Structure formats: C-alpha cells, structure tokens
Amino acid sequence: MERIRAYVENNRQRFLEELLEFLRIPSVSADPAHRRDVRRAAEFVRQRLEAAGVDRARLVDTPGHPVVLGEKLIDPSLPTVLVYGHYDVQPADPLELWRTPPFEPVLRDGCIHGRGASDDKGQLYVHIKAIEYLRNAGFPCNLRFLLEGEEESGSLSLPAVLDGHRADLAADVALVSDTAMLPDNMPAITVGLRGLAAVEVIVRGASRDLHSGIFGGAVANPVHVLCRLIADLHDEHHRIAVPGIYDRVLAVGPEERALMAGAGLDADWYCREVGVPAVVCEEGFSPFECTTIRPSLDVNGIRGGYAGEALKTVLPAEACAKISVRLVPEQRSEVVSGQLEEWLRNRAPAGVEVEVRRLHGGEPVHVPLDFPGYLAAKRAMTEVFGREPLPVRGGGSIPVVALLQERLGLRTVLMGFGQDSDAIHSPNERFGIDNYLRGIMASIRFLQLLPTVMA
Ligand code: BES
Ligand code: MN
Ligand code: MN
C-alpha cells in the first residue's frame, strides 16, 4: 500500500494533466454536432490504454458511437476483470451558469472542474492509471475493457456489441466506477441502481395554432390537457397514481433502512445541496429512500405554445412532454412504460388526441454483498480510505449493469469515487482531486486483492 501511495503522490501532477487533456474533448454523445469529438475521445482512450500496457486496444464501430475494447490476459488460471466506463458526457448547457467554460477544465478548490470530470471521464481514467501502475508492479489478474460513448444517450448500441463480442468480454466480474460515495468523506460501495422507463407524450388538438380570441373557449387547449395529465400522475401522498406501477416493487428490510437513515443524507442535506426550502417525498419514506429504493416519476421536459418575448395570443395545436420513471427491483421497464402509456391514452379527454411514444429503457439492479467482487472492493476501499465503506444504493441508472448480468451472466462491482455534490449533468461539474487519486489506489488494490479473495 505504501508503494502505491508513493507512486500516486509522485505522479499526481501528470495524472491531473492527463485528465485535463481528456476533459478538453467535448464528447457530447447526444449532440450530432459533436460526433467527431466523441470519436476523438474514443481515440484518446484507446491510445492511453495502449500506453498503459493494454493489448489489442481498439475501436469497434457501431451505428452510434464507437466502443473501445482492450485486454491484458496474463494467466488463464487467474480471475478476469472487465472494466467498464463511459467516455461520453452530457451536454454542457446552460453555458452561462458555468464559472469556467465546461471544456476548458481547471483545478480549483481541491477539485477538477469541467464537464465529465466526475461523470465519467475522471472515474474511467482512474482505472487507466491503475493499469499503468500494475504494468510496472506486475499484473495480478487478467483484464478486459469495455468503454462506451453512448451511456449518456441510452447505450443503444451496447446490446449488439455485447452479443457480438462475447469472447472478448468473458470475465468473472465487472468493475464500474460511475457512482458516488457518501458525504463527509464516507466511502461507500453502490449495491443497487435504479432502472428507467421513459415515454414521450404528444397531445394534439386543432390542425393548426389558432387565434385564441377567435377560437378560445370553443376548442380544447392541448397545453391544458397535458398539464392536467401530468398533475394527475401523482396522488396527494406523492405516490405515482398509475395503477399497477408499485406491483413489483420489493420492500427493503429494516436493517438496510436503518443503515440508510444513518448515512448522512438527511432532509437537511438535500435542502442545502439543491437549495430548496423543503423536500417533497412519497409519504412514509425519507428523501434518500425515495431516490434509491422507491420508484419516482419526473417530467424531464415540456413544450407547447408560445413562451417567447412579449405575448402571442395563440391557442396551441400541440403540446408534448418527456416523462421518465426510475425503477427499482423487481420492476421491468417494458411493463412500466406499458402501464404509463395505457394510463395516458385512457385519460385522453374529448377534443384531443393523445399519442404516446416509448423511449429507451433500462432495468434496475441489486448487487449481493457476499460475492468475491464486493469483498475485494470493500477491503480495497477500507485500506485506501481508512474506513470501511457502507453498502448503499444509488438512484441513477447505468444500463450496462443489467445488460452484463442478463446477457453475459456477469456481476458488477460498483466502486465509484464521486460525491452527490459533484454536480454531474449540471453546470460546474467537478471531481475531488483526492477522490481521483484515492480512486486510482483503490482500483490497484481491488485488482490485487481479487485473486486472493477468489482463491
Ligand atoms: N453515472 C450516471 C448514473 C449514476 C449517477 C448512478 C449517480 C448512480 C449515482 C450515468 O452516467 C447516468 O447519468 N445515467 C443516466 C442513464 C440514462 C441516460 C439512460 C441516468 O441515470 O439518467
Ligand atoms: Mn455516468
Ligand atoms: Mn451521467
């Protein structure tokens, strides 16, 4: 451990500079204008893997963005770890809210600031630097890499890549660093992720936008209808009102709930972190529970009519919204999007037509605490952080985790080094420098400990 600490400290400056270079590439997967930048980020990652001693580092083209694969196979009798990460990032807007430009990363207040610093370029780069160390110190196990560029836009090309490269991805366990720890430097290992079921709903009224003086009062307004539909999606207990949606929600036991209650994420934390006067939660559950062990439904965006300068007295022909539901075990995205679709359609009032389009989905996951991967991660984090990590669920979604389980029978260790206050997907995203460096150490120790834990 001391050798590792010294190596990381001695190379700190270079590790930071390399990450800054990575962050300068605006690899926004959702924006077609950045297609070439996304590819440049893939090339960057490929080249860095190769430089760290990884064999066959290569780009696999897909209908979307390339997937980067690579491997270091040293001994078939040793375990094999599949490292997953994503090199794409979320769009950076609204730009004016950034203190420094999103793709001109800087070090400030002990953090690396820039789009992708925490989600997920910084956390992905952790493993590349760990491999660099192991190249000199000796590889303790076999390694494979699966680094994608479409996570932030739904991992649509990933299932085909998994099916087409089964042999290249064969492993004993997957390792993913794309999640957060707990406040106050409390280390944590993520043991669950929520899934996602999303739809777009379009309400259509008249065949054109109308003058609200000539027609207002006589014709249904699609914006009103959409707002009513959305308002009715929750009941007065802040539960989702769609029938059947809670049918397959597993109750979580009192021990896990007690652990969550003591994890430092109380209502005050949420209020302070996001600047709200009060939290609004499903009755009977804490905010931490509502964002991890309970499903939640949000309108992600809404459009309709005129909201620009001055006033345009229009009666809109159309209104639409994107709605997504975060899922928990044992909910299935197909079932939930179906329930949502049916509910929306059946409530269409006279005078409008309601169309529902299903958007991509992803399944929830829960990782057991008693498999070798988890035990190795727990020991690695304890050594590096000086405290035993807590097992906690995360509220976000990482589609690959369920796909690896379903298609390759692979369990995933979610050993992330972010903080919920890293502002991922928001302006001023950042990643603590200490967490970046500790991440590198924890990755090294995980890979060294896994073979002994598995033996
Ligand atoms: N890294 C996040 C997911 C995450 C964040 C998990 C925090 C746990 C804690 C990931 O990059 C992400 O943003 N995923 C999207 C997936 C979607 C686009 C399919 C999400 O959760 O919205
Ligand atoms: Mn991510
Ligand atoms: Mn993300």
Per-10-residue mean pLDDT, the chain, length 455:
97 98 98 98 98 98 98 98 98 98 98 98 98 97 98 95 98 98 94 98 98 98 98 98 98 97 96 97 98 98 97 98 98 98 97 96 94 97 98 97 97 97 97 98 98 95
pLDDT the model gives residue 70: 98
How do strand 67-72 and strand 55-60 relate by DSSP bridges?
antiparallel
Expressed in angstroms and rounded, the spacing between residue 121 Cα and the centre of ligand 1 is 13
pLDDT the model gives residue 341: 98
DSSP label of 207? S
pLDDT the model gives residue 436: 98
Q: Record the tokens describing residue 369, joined without a space.
A: 């605490």
Q: 151 an active-site residue?
A: yes
Mutate which of 151, 190, 367 for ligand 1? The one with the most ligand atoms within 8 Å of its CB, which is 151
How do strand 111-113 and strand 430-432 relate by DSSP bridges?
antiparallel
Q: Which residues surround ligand 3, an ion (CB under 5 A)?
A: 119
Return the ligand number nearest the Cα of 327: 1
pLDDT the model gives residue 304: 98
Instruction: Locate the ligand 1 atom nearest the alpha carbon of residue 178 and give its number.
Output: 1
Mutate which of 178, 194, 199 for ligand 1? The one with the most ligand atoms within 8 Å of its CB, which is 178
Expressed in angstroms and rounded, the spacing between residue 116 Cα and the centre of ligand 3 is 8
C-beta atoms surrounding 186 within 10 Å: 17
Catalytic residue among 18, 37, 71, 88: 88
Of 199, 201, 202, 179, nearest in space to 189 by CA: 179
Q: Tokens 């999007």 identify what position?
A: 337
Protein residue with its CA nearest to atom 19 in ligand 1: 154
DSSP label of 251? P
Q: Record the tokens describing residue 341, joined without a space.
A: 């679709």
Q: 273 an active-site residue?
A: no
pLDDT the model gives residue 360: 85
In three-state secondary structure terms, 187 is: coil
Of 85, 96, 145, nearest in space to 118 by CA: 85
Protein residue with its CA nearest to atom 16 in ligand 1: 397
Expressed in angstroms and rounded, the spacing between residue 124 Cα and the centre of ligand 2 is 9
pLDDT the model gives residue 147: 98
Is residue 86 within 8 Å of residue 147, measured between CB atoms?
Answer: yes
Expressed in angstroms and rounded, the spacing between residue 119 Cα and the centre of ligand 2 is 4
pLDDT the model gives residue 63: 98
DSSP label of 236? T
- β-strand partners of 319: 203, 304
- DSSP letters along 257-282, please? HHHHHTSS--HHHHHHHHT-SS----
Protein residue with its CA nearest to atom 3 in ligand 1: 396
> Using alpha carbons only, what angle is made at residue 75 by residues 73 and 76, rounded to the nearest 5 degrees?
95
| Dist. CA 96–CA 99, nearest whole Å | 8
In three-state secondary structure terms, 310 is: coil
Mutate which of 326, 366, 398 for ligand 1? The one with the most ligand atoms within 8 Å of its CB, which is 398
Q: Tokens 């696999």 identify what position?
A: 60
pLDDT the model gives residue 71: 98
CA-based Rg of the chain, rounded to a whole angstrom? 23
pTM: 0.95
